[in-house]
């Protein structure tokens, strides 16, 4: 399989993630869609690593995984804090920062 | 053989992706994402990235998703929306934007003249993608990146703990909360503005 | 010390006086500002004398000295300099101005003693003298305009000196506005002259007038008419004269200084100084002569019927300035300037005496309520009579020589100027009549109550202080006249000042007796050497003798007529007024100039101003421009603010849009 196929899969997954971020109101699902986008990027990176024949892409993908993990930790912590304060878990309701 | 595996894994990944976005119940979304991750791990294996695939399964699907499951269990999905949707009608725009992005990627990938994309990749040595190779790279060429990543993990851990801890003092169960009022009756005494306000986030008065 | 040093000292002493008085305003002990001011002007007068001697030391050909302190050419682009022109004409004017000013300052030291604004008065007065000296000593058009404007400003400050009186402030504004109209004329005139000659410097312009302009060149006539407008406004000639009678709202020393001896003579000085230009544009000079003649007749007729003592003298000033303007516009320079000098003496004397009488009347200026002060105020009476005789032109007083010389010279110009001279003689008759009408009414006849009080030795005090013009009750605080009044008989400095002027009014004429002593004519020759008329225009001896004789006859006849009407048969004026009622009311209403100007000019401008404020300002400027701009900005910012909706998904959409566009750009750029 040529690399192009992998890249196509990556593109489709990424755009699905975009659709999810824009559409869903539950912040948990928004974070999940964000994970989708990160994973799509990972796939592209690994595909190019294979294409070029060195491992730099794979290392990059590992670091992306680390970052994703951190971001998830903090994000979920925020959601838990919101739930504790009995605020609505809905991104449309949380709009204090408006002009 | 490789093609079949590829298509199978790709379909699993795509199905998982669509499921994450389209399923209503957040718990089901989490499960769909796990499925997607496993599909992706298979794709990594096809690309001779063994360590990455392993890390994906163990770390991502195994740890991060478990965290997600716990939080979803705690928070729960609200099946019934609190108020009629008064945000912007985003469905059409979302499809439009993501469609536009997809078209753009298609152009980039299919229409580009990068020769490297046409082949299966350059030749590789037998230990390509093995843990030993990855480890050697981490400790020599990408040492700084490695250290910074670990620092980042520390910061995130500390941050998560601070964000999610209880305030000093205990919740008084006798105190009414706004959400209780809202859940019990549709029309509350609060206005829209006060519902999402920081005043409420600070907790009931007296803390 | 050289001529140039004296020149700068003349200018800087009054300025220093003003600054010193102002800076130490809170510190001076009682009466100090008056003496400081007087000393400053006396120093200026001494410098003028020094300059006179220094000038005489120079040779005949070198008597026009320009001294430059600063050259503005590098910034202004034209040859503008801070330069003084010291020549016989300017020294003559400086001597007259500083000399008479010293005496008036001396008079004011006592006269204004009980006024709460004493310091302010002397600061303003010194500033005025500085500006007038700047005007006469200026060496180029720029400084002339600066001095002109300062003089107008000082006049405003001094007319509305008792600033809490609305009549005074209104008079000050009227004077200032009319002066500004004159300023505009002056500046426009300067522009036209500069256009032709290319230089702002006096001597350069005068030397090149023949090359720059042809005879009666359009630009030059326009320029000279502009200068004339300025001269008319400053010297209160018709039709820009309406401010002068109202300017009598100021204190009497102010009237004496500004509106008799110095400021109003600035127009005469201007025409005399610009004589090369006027000789090259005789049309403009003719306009000046006609206006001067018209003014002298109109003002004399009004003075016959006015009942306010100071206003009689004001109209008399207007009339006499008319004589001077007529003279210098007919190129009879020596005669005009000689009359300027003698007029300064006897008019200031008349005003001072009038001030003394008004003080005895506790501020009341109405002639109808005065009478019989002869026994109570002999010194004042004597001074007034001397001034009146000089004004009427009775020999051997100074006015006789100067006024009749003017008329002889004007008549000697042949053509239609003879008619002007004839009207001038009519004016002389009227002058004698109204002057002695004033004197007889105020001093002869039965003594009124204030006169009787004064004969018994105490000064009359009015039961309550009122505005003499409107009768409004006022107090004696700052901004109003003080509670006490000072008359000449009781104040030494007033006596000294009036005495000096009386002596000068008597002997001043001997400076320029036609045919006998031509001191002034020779003195002024270096200035007027380039004039075609200075030596040539000379009335024959026969004409001169005829003029002198006619003048004497008219003066004595007028005095006799006045005596007959107002002393012998006191009821005659009343019946005469009844018989000639329409004529009387026409004169009494000042030939309706105020009403005409009000209808033609003041009302349309006021309407325009109101229109501008209510309609234009409100709707167009505030509504459209300012309101529109702010509305547009507000709408724009509201539109932009809508982007900050607070919705997370909205922000994410925008982010993705941006990324897409960026990616598209790179795709297209790379392909």
Domains defined along chain B, listed by start: 1-78+128-141 (1.20.120.1200)
d(CA C97, CA C44): 10
Output the pLDDT for position A98.
64
C643: nearest CA partner in chain A: A99
Q: Which of C643, C652, C653, C654 to mutate to test the interface with A (most CBs of A within 10 A)?
A: C652
- Cα-atom radius of gyration of chain C, to the nearest Å? 30
A69: nearest CA partner in chain B: B64
Output the CA–CA distances (angstroms, integers) from residue C458 to C112, C352, C370, C491, in the order listed: 19, 21, 17, 14
Domain ranges of chain A: 3-84
pLDDT-based confidence at residue C273 (cuts at 50, 70, 90): very high
ipTM at complex level:
0.92
For residue A29, pLDDT over 60 is answered with yes
Output the pLDDT for position C317.
94
Output the pLDDT for position C271.
94
Q: DSSP states of A5-21 as a string?
A: HHHHHHHHHHHHHHHHH
Question: What's chain C's average pLDDT?
Answer: 87
Q: Which of C640, C641, C645, C649 to mutate to test the interface with A (most CBs of A within 10 A)?
A: C649
CA nearest to C309, candidates C275, C342, C350: C350
Please report, in tens digits, the pLDDT of each residue of chain B (207 residues total). 788 999 999 999 999 999 999 998 899 999 999 999 999 999 999 998 999 999 999 999 999 999 999 999 988 766 555 445 555 566 777 888 888 888 888 888 877 766 666 666 666 677 787 888 899 989 999 999 999 999 999 999 999 888 877 765 555 555 555 666 666 554 445 444 444 444 444 445 543
Mean pLDDT computed over C292-306: 92
What burial letters (b/e) apply to C456-493, b meaning 16+ CB within 10 Å?
eeebbeeeebebbbeeeebeeeebbbbeebbbbbbbeb
CA nearest to C240, candidates C162, C297, C300, C179: C179
Q: Verify whether the Cβ–Cβ distance C649 to B88 is below 8 Å.
A: yes
d(CA C27, CA B201): 69
The pLDDT > 90 percentage for chain C reads 39
How is residue C173 written in tokens?
A: 């504004």
The torsion of the CA quartet C55, C60, C62, C63, rounded to 10 degrees, works out to: 40
Q: Verify whether the Cβ–Cβ distance B94 to C663 is below 8 Å.
A: no
Output the pLDDT for position B206.
46
The reply to whether A98 touches chain B by the CB within 8 Å rule is no
Least confident of A34-48, B108-122, B177-191, C630-644: B177-191
For residue A56, pLDDT over 80 is answered with yes
CA nearest to C464, candidates C364, C346, C319, C334: C364
- Write the DSSP symbol of residue B59: I
Output the pLDDT for position C353.
93
In tens, the pLDDT along B141-200 reads: 999 999 999 999 999 999 988 887 776 555 555 555 566 666 655 444 544 444 444 444
The reply to whether A38 touches chain B by the CB within 8 Å rule is no
pLDDT-based confidence at residue A4 (cuts at 50, 70, 90): confident
Neighbouring subunits of B (3+ Cβ pairs under 8 A): A, C
For residue C654, pLDDT over 70 is answered with yes
Which C residues, 640 through 659, put their C-beta within 8 Å of a C-beta on chain B? Answer: 645, 647, 649-650, 653, 656-657, 659
In tens, the pLDDT along C350-407 reads: 999 999 999 888 888 888 888 888 888 899 999 999 999 999 988 888 888 888 888 8
- Write the DSSP symbol of residue B167: P
Contacts of A19 in chain B (CB under 8 A): 21, 94-95, 98
Output the pLDDT for position C346.
92
What is the three-class DSSP state of C68? strand
Of B49, B86, B177, the CB nearest to A49: B49
Contact C55/C160 with Cβ under 8 angstroms?
no
Cβ count near C116 (within 10 Å): 16
How is residue C146 written in tokens?
A: 């600066």
d(CA C433, CA C316): 11
In tens, the pLDDT along C97-141 reads: 999 999 999 999 999 888 888 899 999 999 999 999 999 999 889
In the numeric block, the tokens 């994402």 are attached to B33
The reply to whether B21 touches chain C by the CB within 8 Å rule is no
For residue C62, pLDDT over 90 is answered with no
The reply to whether C507 touches chain B by the CB within 8 Å rule is no
Q: Verify whether the Cβ–Cβ distance B29 to A29 is below 8 Å.
A: yes
Question: What's chain A's average pLDDT?
Answer: 89
d(CA C192, CA C396): 45
CA nearest to C93, candidates C588, C581, C523: C523
d(CA C256, CA C248): 10
- What kind of architecture, by CATH, is found in domain A3-84? Orthogonal Bundle (1.10)
Size of interface A-C (CB pairs under 8 A): 34
- Whether pTM > 0.90 for this model: the answer is no
What is the three-class DSSP state of B96? helix
For residue C229, pLDDT over 90 is answered with yes
What is the three-class DSSP state of A86? coil
In tens, the pLDDT along C397-432 reads: 888 888 888 888 888 887 888 889 899 999 999 999
Q: Verify whether the Cβ–Cβ distance C646 to A96 is below 8 Å.
A: yes
Q: Which of C648, C660, C667 to mutate to test the interface with A (most CBs of A within 10 A)?
A: C648
Contacts of C656 in chain A (CB under 8 A): 18, 21-22
For residue C46, pLDDT over 80 is answered with yes
């Amino acid at each position: 399989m040529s690399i192009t196929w992998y890249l196509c899969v990556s593109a489709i997954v990424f755009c699905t993630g975009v659709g999810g971020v824009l559409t869903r109101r539950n912040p948990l699902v928004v974070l999940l869609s964000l994970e989708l986008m990160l994973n799509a990027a990972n796939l592209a990176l690994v595909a190019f690593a294979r294409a070029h024949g060195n491992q730099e892409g794979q290392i990059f993908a590992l670091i992306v995984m680390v970052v994703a993990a951190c971001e998830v930790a903090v994000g979920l912590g925020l959601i838990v804090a919101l739930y504790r304060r009995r605020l609505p878990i809905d991104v449309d309701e949380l709009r204090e920062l408006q002009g | 053989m490789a093609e079949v595996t590829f298509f199978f894994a790709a379909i699993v990944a795509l199905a998982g992706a669509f499921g994450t976005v389209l399923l209503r119940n957040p718990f089901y979304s989490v499960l769909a994402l796990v499925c997607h991750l496993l599909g992706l791990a298979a794709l990594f294996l096809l690309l001779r990235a063994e360590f990455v695939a392993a890390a994906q399964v163990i770390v991502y699907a195994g740890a991060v998703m478990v965290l997600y499951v716990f939080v979803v269990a705690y928070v729960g999905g609200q099946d019934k929306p609190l108020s009629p949707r008064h945000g912007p009608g985003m469905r059409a725009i979302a499809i439009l934007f993501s469609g536009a992005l997809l078209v753009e990627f298609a152009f980039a990938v299919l229409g580009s003249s990068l020769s490297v994309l046409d082949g299966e990749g350059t030749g590789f040595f037998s230990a390509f993608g093995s843990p030993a190779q990855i480890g050697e790279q981490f400790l020599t060429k990408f040492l700084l990146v490695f250290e910074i990543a670990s620092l980042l993990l520390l910061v995130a851990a500390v941050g998560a703990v601070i964000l999610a801890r209880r305030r000093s003092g205990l919740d008084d169960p006798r105190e009414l909360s706004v959400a209780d009022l809202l859940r019990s009756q549709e029309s509350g005494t609060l206005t829209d503005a006060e519902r999402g306000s920081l005043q409420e986030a600070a907790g009931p008065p007296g803390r | 010390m050289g001529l140039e040093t004296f020149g700068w000292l003349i200018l800087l002493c009054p300025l220093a006086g003003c600054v010193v008085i102002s800076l130490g305003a809170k510190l001076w002990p009682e009466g100090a500002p008056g003496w400081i001011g007087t000393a400053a002007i006396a120093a200026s007068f001494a410098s003028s004398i020094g300059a006179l001697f220094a000038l005489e030391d120079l040779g005949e050909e070198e008597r026009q000295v320009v001294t430059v302190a600063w050259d503005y050419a590098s910034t202004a682009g034209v040859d503008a300099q801070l330069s003084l022109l010291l020549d016989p004409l300017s020294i003559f004017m400086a001597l007259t101005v500083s000399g008479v000013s010293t005496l008036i300052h001396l008079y004011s030291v006592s006269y204004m003693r009980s006024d709460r604004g004493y310091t302010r008065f002397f600061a303003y007065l010194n500033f005025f003298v500085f500006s007038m000296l700047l005007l006469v000593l200026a060496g180029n058009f720029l400084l002339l305009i600066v001095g002109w404007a300062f003089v107008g400003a000082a006049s405003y400050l001094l007319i509305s000196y008792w600033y809490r009186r609305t009549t005074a402030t209104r008079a000050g504004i009227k004077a200032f506005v009319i002066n500004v109209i004159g300023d505009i004329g002056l500046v426009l005139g300067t522009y036209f002259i500069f256009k032709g000659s290319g230089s702002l410097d006096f001597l350069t312009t005068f030397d090149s007038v023949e090359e720059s302009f042809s005879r009666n060149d359009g630009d030059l006539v326009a320029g000279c008419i502009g200068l004339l407008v300025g001269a008319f406004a400053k010297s209160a000639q018709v039709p820009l004269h309406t401010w002068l009678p109202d300017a009598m709202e100021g204190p009497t020393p102010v009237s004496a200084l500004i509106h008799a001896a110095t400021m109003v003579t600035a127009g005469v000085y201007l025409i005399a100084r610009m004589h090369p230009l006027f000789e090259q544009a005789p049309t403009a000079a003719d306009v000046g002569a006609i206006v001067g003649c018209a003014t002298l007749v109109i003002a004399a007729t009004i003075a016959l019927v006015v009942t306010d003592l100071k206003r009689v003298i004001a109209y008399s000033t207007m009339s006499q300035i008319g004589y001077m303007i007529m003279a210098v516009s007919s190129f009879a320079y020596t005669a005009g300037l000689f009359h300027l000098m003698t007029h300064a003496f006897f008019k200031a004397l008349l005003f001072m005496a009038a001030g003394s009488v008004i003080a005895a009347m506790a501020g009341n200026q109405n002639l109808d309520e005065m009478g019989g002060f002869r026994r109570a105020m002999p010194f004042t009476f004597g001074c007034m009579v001397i001034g009146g005789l000089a004004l009427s032109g009775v020999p051997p007083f100074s006015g006789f020589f100067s006024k009749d010389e003017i008329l002889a010279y004007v008549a000697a110009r042949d053509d239609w100027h003879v008619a002007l001279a004839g009207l001038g003689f009519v004016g002389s008759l009227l002058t004698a009549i109204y002057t002695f009408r004033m004197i007889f009414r105020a001093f002869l006849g039965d003594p009124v109550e204030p006169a009787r009080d004064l004969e018994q030795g105490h000064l009359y005090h009015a039961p309550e202080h009122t505005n003499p013009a409107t009768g409004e009750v006022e107090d004696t605080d700052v901004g109003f006249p003080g509670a006490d009044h000072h008359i000449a008989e009781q104040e030494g400095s007033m006596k000294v000042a009036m005495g000096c002027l009386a002596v000068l009014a008597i002997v001043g004429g001997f400076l320029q007796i036609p045919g006998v002593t031509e001191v002034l004519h020779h003195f002024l020759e270096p200035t007027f050497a380039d004039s075609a008329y200075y030596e040539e225009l000379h009335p024959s001896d026969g004409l001169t003798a005829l003029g002198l004789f006619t003048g004497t006859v008219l003066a004595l006849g007028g005095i006799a007529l006045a005596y007959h009407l107002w002393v012998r048969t006191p009821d005659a004026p009343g019946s005469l007024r009844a018989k000639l009622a329409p004529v009387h009311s026409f004169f009494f209403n000042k030939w309706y100039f105020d009403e005409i100007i009000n209808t033609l000019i003041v009302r349309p401008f006021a309407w325009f101003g109101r229109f501008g404020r209510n309609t234009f300002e409100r709707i167009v400027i505030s509504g459209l421009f300012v309101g529109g701009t702010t509305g547009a900005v507000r709408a724009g910012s509201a539109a932009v603010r809508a982007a900050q909706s607070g919705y997370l998904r909205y922000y994410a959409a925008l982010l993705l849009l941006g990324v897409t566009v960026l990616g598209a750009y790179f795709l297209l750029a790379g392909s």
